[in-house]
Amino acid sequence: MSTQLYFIYDSHCPWSYAATQLISAVNDELPNVKVHFLHSGMFDGDNKVDRKTVDTVTELSNQTFAAAYLEELPKTKDSTLAANLMAWSQAKCAQKSLRILQSLQEQHFQHGNPLETADDVADIIADLKLSAPTKVLQSEKFSKEAEYQLADIEEIQEIIGTRAIPALLLAHEDDLVLLNHNLYLLEPTAIVEAIQQEMNA
């Protein structure tokens, strides 16, 4: 029986940062569930995150945001490079995608790293021994892999009837279930039981 989880997110979205904990729990407890990481590229250099959003995420998920990140809130965010890197990882080294995303989010939300240039992600590339090409490590435009992924995201969003992120879509055999991630943010391991119930239904 095939079970897959589609995680639509943005590396620069605080809600997605909180939801990544759920993906980590699934990865740890349900290794047979294949996770697809679909970066939405929502932050295009004109978007900002407000303090109210960050405070709400903290309240509803217990996820923390460092002072280095909070100091950068007035600045616009651009997740194009991260979208390119994550799309490349899904195509070339999918087994590392979670670790790459966690590293990107750690740098952004705990160290205030904007993740907009190759230099911004150089340590991640080195630490995880990635061989991402230069065309991936730029914010000027989406790579072909990222554009293909954005098209996939659009199709999925039509199916689930929402463009809100993060979104977690569980595909088990012929059934599709949109999981309500908000129910599990304070207790990430609870999503494991929810997925097991869907698999056993």
Write the CB contacts of 116 (distance below 8 Å, at least 6 apart in sequence). Answer: 78, 80, 81, 139
Residue 74 has pLDDT above 60, yes or no: yes
Whole-angstrom distance, CA of residue 143 vs CA of residue 170: 27
For 27-42, what is each residue's pLDDT tens digit?
999 999 999 999 999 9
Cβ count within 10 A of residue 189: 14
Which one-letter DSSP state was computed for residue 187?
S
Alpha helices in the chain (DSSP H): 14-29, 51-61, 67-70, 80-92, 97-111, 122-127, 144-160, 190-200
Cβ count within 10 A of residue 158: 10
Residue 190 has pLDDT above 70, yes or no: yes
SS3 201: coil
- Token digits for 27? 């990865």
SS3 27: helix
Whole-angstrom distance, CA of residue 101 vs CA of residue 44: 18
Instruction: Identify the CATH number of the domain defined by range 3-200.
Output: 3.40.30.10
Give φ, ψ of 186 to 5 degrees.
-85, -15
| Widest distance between CA atoms in the chain | 48
Binned at pLDDT 50, 70 and 90, residue 1 comes out as: low
Whole-angstrom distance, CA of residue 47 vs CA of residue 33: 33
Q: Hey, where are the domains in the chain?
A: 3-200
Q: What is the pLDDT of residue 175?
A: 87
For 102-155, what is each residue's pLDDT tens digit?
999 999 999 999 999 999 999 999 999 999 999 999 999 999 999 999 999 999
pTM of the entire structure? 0.95
Residue 46 has pLDDT above 60, yes or no: yes
Give φ, ψ of 169 to 5 degrees.
-110, 120
Write the CB contacts of 125 (distance below 8 Å, at least 6 apart in sequence). Answer: 132, 137
Residue 145's closest CA among 77, 71, 88, 191?
88
